[in-house]
Amino acid sequence: MSPHADPRLIVALDLPTRAKAEALVERLGDAVCFYKIGLQLLASDGMGLARELKAGGKHVFLDWKLHDIGATVERAAAAIAETGVGDLLTVHAEPQVLASAVKGAGGSGLRILGVTVLTSLSAADLREIGYELSPRELVERRVRQAADAGAAGVVASPHEASLARRIGGPGFLAVTPGVRPAGSAPDDQARVATPEFALAEGATHLVVGRPVTGAPHPRAAAEAIVREMASAAARAA
């Protein structure tokens, strides 16, 4: 692994085509070692890109948020695990879905993450959907369900990372989207935070998209985030 890369930083390849994603990976070089492939690229040969990244020594986060009946999720997780191209896979953090995904992944290296509450959703959004719980209350319930199902961790906003780690324990993953370097625009995220805040709250991985992918100089942007993470760790020590 390159000394420039920090495996806690996951760059989201939220781009329209595999070719554009490959070009960005080339520009980032050894500054990044972990990438997220989401639904947009899933429809544009996301599995092929995942294979390419793994062959190049990178880690791959398959952020596909599986959500279906248990038998279907189990078979899908098993099929993905068999390919060997993913390190992390997201499913919706509901008990049946979580348990089925964990069973499907079996003893492979594919680790299951439960998606708690999307970082684009506010308390008002949850009320409109029909939830009476606050975002934090709903996250807490889903973290407990993920831990009970044997999932490796959860996806939650930086504001709930400490809650996830407290419930899940020291080895439980708290993967936090909605991370924006100081001074960045929140875009369409409702619950955002800086890398320093997320790490201080217990995040194990930071998912960063547009501050890197939309930057004029993506490698420099990624390196700046890594430096911010290192500075946060030094201040916490």
CA separation for the pair 235, 181 (Å, rounded):
17
Those residues with Cβ within 8 angstroms of residue 11's Cβ, 6 or more apart along the chain or in another chain? 28, 32, 34, 35, 36, 208, 209, 212, 213, 222
Q: Which two tokens stand for residue 16?
A: 């329209």
* Type of residue numbered 22: E
Catalytic site includes residue 65: yes
Spot the catalytic one: 20, 54, 58, 65: 65
Residue 121, by phi and psi: left (phi above 0), alpha (psi -120 to 50) or beta? beta
First-to-last alpha carbon distance for the chain, in angstroms, is: 24
Those residues with Cβ within 8 angstroms of residue 39's Cβ, 6 or more apart along the chain or in another chain? 63, 64, 65
User: Mind telling me the catalytic residues?
Assistant: 65
